[in-house]
Chains A and B, each alone.
Chain A
């Protein structure tokens, strides 16, 4: 279970900090192990030689109908981020004697993810980076084989997965819709643009995003003056000019908030509304974990390193997968173990602090497995703000002003 000790300066700290959240038999076990560790520490750098295998699971996507030809379709979103993270982990590993191996499984469009999971991943991997949709993720999480695994979700935005539908063997690396909506609402409140015209697309995801926006509006005292569902064409060449002008003749508002996750019409709204009003939401000013305009806090180095490796900009899923591999790297190095229960305890402990190049230490919320992280508010070519916005206070960490705080969470983790 344990491998050779490394020279760790934080052992005691970790042991102390994580203790209260771990049950008694484990506490005794961990105390013993740390005692062993400390007593065997050698002044010379003891190299622990062990390797950790991480699976990356994704499925081929249908190329969506394109709104414009400006953005190329990226096939390997997520994978490149995981690869960079593994490379970073292995650079650290050269000094600590750890070897990180990433094995990718890309299920074909018509393939079956459960078959791949059971055949190729179960019993071979304990750590899986999952780049799939919400339904697929929970299907996998509920499989008997996943019971003793930790799944790193780098794709879903669903609030339900952080609440009623949460799973104790899943950690979420990207901000959910509620966090994004809260980020937008905080900034709007700062600008005093607190009368919203909400425009919702026709997909189920659009309705979920709209729900999150409504929750935020209520939370921050913003008024949704009008709410409308988009009912027009998705083709700009037709009658967009007149359609949008007519569609947006509503009571006065400060900003138009659009929920169009697939980008089917949102881009058409700007400059075509009846009143001269800015667009925010899924188009215009967007809320995202990562954005190409972001350069602060060492992000420029991250952007450059990623571009050198992947030959393209880093997408959100890449960022999520990078953070997943880095979190695992940190946890294995700090807990000097590849043992699932210790890794998980470390990741969910207050001792865990991950750099995400966004100015605040990232950690996991112990109540729903969501990564606690800043949310960027970006226009297409400029970073406008980073939430939490100054002035939104919280007794523990201002990052918990975004999304579902402990008291609001409906997640009840059943012990694995």
Chain B
């Protein structure tokens, strides 16, 4: 008995020691809440109300602020990443879902799905400075690490729009496989990876000429092709591997980012949606939409080490070191 108590105490002290450790933030679409997870301890630390239907989430480059799209409030909230106090909100336009923060952290680009627009927000001044007309139902959006390109993917138009960040105008459009969802640049800004939910594919485009380099398809024994619906994509900094969430296939694909071969398929939670690396790239966090948890993938061993219940409809994920 005494042993158990002292053990708990020791564990508790250990946790206290880790207070400043990495935090994983997960938006819970159905709970109108934000979950805070300690991924090292593998524990849900707390959940707090955050606004109506929170989806997209990003952390500022200095890790001080969280930006959270609360879709049914028609705004993006600015939250202090340590105290979780609401500091203000940004004019996101109607029903914001996904958005992208530029590398400098002073621009946010929002997909306005219902209006076929991308809204450009000046973050320090909290002002919308431009609306760019794009295809039908824009969803995936990203800024290249070199800040040259803003790319917006239109789900119904089946197109990625290449927008010059200096002029905020479209300079190029590339047709892609049906229902593009996520767009993600490699760290060197040379490639754009695009997931297509209805075609079950990932396309790798050359950022220099906007041409296709490779279409990656997935095969999983025991799962029919139409269940394989790629969504979130992350690529490691060294461009060794890319990880793709396969939605209702409940799996994450591990892709060799040099040869584009699918190396491994990892079983995670149900309807896996968005992905984020830990800052040291040792772990990958996945939000699992219908099993109400997140999975932690250990990158070195390429295995799923843990799943942590967080609340209903986990959607977006952001990580603070």
Residues of A participating in the B interface, judged by any CB pair closer than 8 Å:
6-10, 13, 43, 45, 88, 91-92, 95-96, 298, 301, 304-305, 326, 330, 333-334, 353-355, 359-361, 394, 396-399
Contact = CB atoms under 8 A, between A and B. Distances in A.
A294 B160 CA distance: 28
A398 B175 contact: no
Q: Which 10 A-B pairs have the closest CB atoms?
A: A361-B198, A9-B212, A92-B157, A353-B198, A353-B178, A355-B179, A95-B173, A88-B136, A91-B136, A360-B226
Nearest to A374: B226
B174 to A, nearest CB: 6
Contact of A8 (B170, B175, B224): B175
Interface stretch (B16-24, B56-64, B203-211): B203-211
Contacts of B176: 9-10
Given A9-B205, A91-B135, A355 B224 contact: no
Contacts of A334: 175
B218 to A, nearest CB: 14
Nearest to A44: B172
B236 interface: no
B203 A9 contact: yes
A84 to B, nearest CB: 10
A8 B212 CA distance: 9
8 contacts: A45-B173, A92-B135, A95-B157, A301-B113, A330-B158, A353-B199, A394-B224, A398-B224
Contacts of B136: 88, 91-92
Contacts of A333: 158, 175
Contacts of A7: 173-175, 210-211
Nearest to A350: B225
Contacts of B226: 360-361, 397-399
Nearest to B133: A94
SS class of chain B's interface: helix, strand, loop or mixed? loop
A353 B156 CA distance: 12
A43 B178 contact: no
B215 interface: yes
Interface in B155-183: 155-159, 161, 170, 172-179
Nearest to B160: A9
Given A7-B174, A397-B225, A397-B226, A304 B114 contact: yes
Contacts of A45: 172-173
A301 B136 CA distance: 11
A361 to B, nearest CB: 4
A330 to B, nearest CB: 7
A8 B175 CA distance: 6
Contacts of B224: 394, 396-398
Interface in B89-106: none
A298 B175 contact: no
A355 B173 contact: no
B131 interface: no
Chain B interface extent, by class: 35 or more
A43 B156 contact: no
A92 B212 CA distance: 20
Contacts of A399: 226
Given A360-B226, A361-B199, A354 B156 contact: no
Nearest to A395: B224
A95 B171 CA distance: 11
Interface string B178-201: 110000000000000000011110
Given A9-B174, A91-B135, A333-B158, 19 more contacts: A7-B211, A10-B176, A43-B209, A43-B211, A45-B173, A92-B154, A92-B159, A95-B157, A95-B159, A95-B173, A96-B173, A301-B113, A301-B137, A305-B114, A354-B178, A355-B156, A355-B178, A398-B226, A399-B226
B248 interface: yes
B116 interface: yes
Contacts of B157: 88, 91-92, 95
Contacts of B205: 9
Contacts of B203: 9
Contacts of B116: 91
A9 B200 CA distance: 15
A254 B175 CA distance: 51
A330 B178 contact: yes
A7 B162 CA distance: 13
Contacts of A397: 224-226
Interface string B246-283: 00100000000000000000000000000000000000
B175 A6 contact: yes
Contacts of A95: 135, 157, 159, 161, 170, 173
Contact of B155 (A304, A355, A360, A396): A355
A359 B231 CA distance: 13
A394 B226 CA distance: 11
B106 to A, nearest CB: 29
B163 to A, nearest CB: 12
A256 B203 CA distance: 49
A92 B248 contact: no
